[in-house]
Amino acid sequence: MSLNVEHHDTRVLPSEKPLRLLDNAGHALHGRETGGFELPPIDTLLELYRRMVVARRFDVQVTALTKQGRLATYPSAYGQEACEIGVVSAITPDDWFFPTYRDSIALLTRGLAPGEILQSFRGDWHNGWDQHEHRTAAMATPLATQALHAVGLAHAARLRQDPIVTLTFLGDGATSEGDAHEAFNFAAVWQTPTVFLVQNNQFAISTPLARQTHATTLADKGVGYGMPGYHVDGNDIAAMHAVATAAVERARVGGGPTLIEGVTYRIEPHTNSDDPTRYRQSRDVEHWKRRDPIERLEKYLVSEGALTDDIRAEITETGEELAARTRDAMSEAPELDPLELFDHVYARPRTALVEQRAALETELATHAAAATEVAAR
C-alpha cells in the first residue's frame, strides 16, 4: 500500500503485535496482522533474499577475520539482515543514508566495497569511503548523533527543492539519548523527508530493552512527535521492505518523517570483546535463531517456486566471491603515511600543524637512519 499524505493520522498508536507479511513458516499472511501492507512482488523478494544471503556470508567472514586479529573490532549484524537490507533497499542511490557502527551489511547493500566498509574497524583511518560519491555518511559511533545530521541534510535538500530522502538507523539503546529525541522532534516540526529505523535488537551491549524504556513499543514514540510510527517484525524482510518503501514514498512527496521499529535480535555478541553469556540465556538465542529472517523468506520463495537450485548455486557463488574479496582486502598491508595525520584537520593550513608535521617528519627520518645503521652492522 501507499501511505496517504493528506489523511494519515499521526495520533494512531502502532499495533502492539508487530506487523508481519510472512509468518515464521514462510506463509503469506492476510488480514489485520499485515496492517494493510501488501507483499512485495516476487522478483523484489528474490532480490532481497539474494542480498541477505550474500550479506550474511560477508558478516560471517568478517567475524572470522576479526577472530584472526585482522580487524580491531567488528559489530556483527547477524540475524538483523531483514531490518538492515529490507530498509536500506527502499531508498535510491540519490537518497542519503546515515549509518551507525553496526550497519556494515547495509553499507554493502548500498554498493560500498569491503575494504571501504571495514577500513575503520581495521584501524587504518576513521572512515574509508567518499560520502558524496556514495551519498552515505560516515558511520557514527556516538549514539543518535547522526540522526540529526540526517534531518539537517533532508531539510537542506528540501530548501534546494531536491526530491531526496534521508534514512538513518538507530539502535534501541540510542532512543534513550537526547539527540534521538531532538532528531525526531526537528524532523516532525520541519516535516523533513526522513525515515528513522530503530533496530530493536533487544540489548544495548548488555542492557535489556526493559531497562531501556518503559514504552510499550519504541514505535509508540512517533506519535508523541506527530509522526507515524510502525511496529514491525524485524525478521520479516517482506514487511520491513513494504513499510520502509511506503515511508520513503510518503517522505518524497512531502509527507514528512516516519519512525519504524524493527523488532529483531542480535545473535552475535555486541562486538568480539563482549561476553553475552553474562546477560542472556542460550534458550533465548535459540528461540530467535528459529525465527531467522533468511530461512523465513527462503521457505516462502521455495513454496512459490521462485528459488531454484540454479539460483541458489549462483547466490552461493556470489557470496563466496565476496568473502574472498573481503579476505583479500583485509590481507593487504595497508599503506599508511603518518604525515597524513596532519592533512585533514583544517581546510586552511595552520602554522602549528605545519610545525608539528615537520617535527614528526624529522623523527621518522631519525628512526629510519638508525634502523639503516643497525641493519648495516
Q: Is 149 in the site for another protein (CB under 8 A)?
A: yes
Window of 15-23, 65-73, 137-145, 318-326 that interacts with another protein by CB under 8 A: 137-145
Provide the residue type at 192 as one letter: T
Nearest distance from residue 152's CB to another protein, in Å? Answer: 3
If we measure between CA atoms, which residue out of 120, 127, 133, 87 comes closest to residue 106?
A: 87
Q: Is 130 in the site for another protein (CB under 8 A)?
A: yes
Nearer to another protein (CB atom), residue 56 or residue 149: 149
Q: Give the interface size with another protein as a residue count (CB under 8 A).
A: 41
Q: Is 166 in the site for another protein (CB under 8 A)?
A: yes
Nearer to another protein (CB atom), residue 78 or residue 101: 101
Provide the residue type at 200 as one letter: N
Q: For the residues of 110-163, what is the DSSP string, one character each? A: TT--HHHHHHHHHTS-S--S-HHHHTBPPPB-STTHHHHHHHHHHHHHHHTT--
Residue 355 C-alpha cell reads as: 610545525
Q: Is 74 a catalytic residue?
A: no
Task: Tell me the C-alpha distance between 357 and 339, whole Å.
Answer: 6
In the region spanning residues 313 to 352, those forming contacts with another protein, defined by CB under 8 A, are: 343-348, 350-352
Task: Tell me the C-alpha distance between 104 and 299, whole Å.
Answer: 26
Nearest distance from residue 130's CB to another protein, in Å? Answer: 5
Nearest distance from residue 220's CB to another protein, in Å? Answer: 21
Task: Tell me the C-alpha distance between 240 and 35, whole Å.
Answer: 12
Nearer to another protein (CB atom), residue 158 or residue 312: 158
Asked if 89 contacts 51 with a C-beta cutoff of 8 angstroms, the reply is: yes
Window of 16-24, 54-62, 131-139, 274-282 that interacts with another protein by CB under 8 A: 131-139
CA 154, 156, 158, 161 dihedral sign is: negative
Asked if 219 contacts 261 with a C-beta cutoff of 8 angstroms, the reply is: yes
Window of 1-9, 138-146, 206-214, 277-285 that interacts with another protein by CB under 8 A: 138-146
Q: Is 181 a catalytic residue?
A: no
Helix segments in 21-127, DSSP class H: 42-67, 81-88, 104-109, 114-122
Nearest distance from residue 142's CB to another protein, in Å? Answer: 5
Q: Is 357 in the site for another protein (CB under 8 A)?
A: no
Of the residues 50, 270, 296, 357, which is catalytic? 270
Task: Tell me the C-alpha distance between 129 and 117, whole Å.
Answer: 7
Nearer to another protein (CB atom), residue 308 or residue 356: 356
Which residue has cell 593487504?
Answer: 332
Binding another protein (rule: CB under 8 A), the pick from 49, 186, 196, 265 is: 186
Q: Is 279 a catalytic residue?
A: yes
Window of 12-20, 101-109, 124-132, 298-306 that interacts with another protein by CB under 8 A: 124-132
Q: Is 189 in the site for another protein (CB under 8 A)?
A: yes
Nearest distance from residue 10's CB to another protein, in Å? Answer: 17
Task: Tell me the C-alpha distance between 272 and 310, whole Å.
Answer: 35
If we measure between CA atoms, which residue out of 218, 220, 231 comes closest to residue 173?
A: 218
- Kindly list the residues in this chain that would bind another protein in the complex (CB under 8 A): 125-127, 130-132, 137-138, 140, 142, 145, 147-157, 159-160, 166, 178-179, 182-183, 185-186, 189, 343-348, 350-352
Catalytically active residues are 266, 270, 279
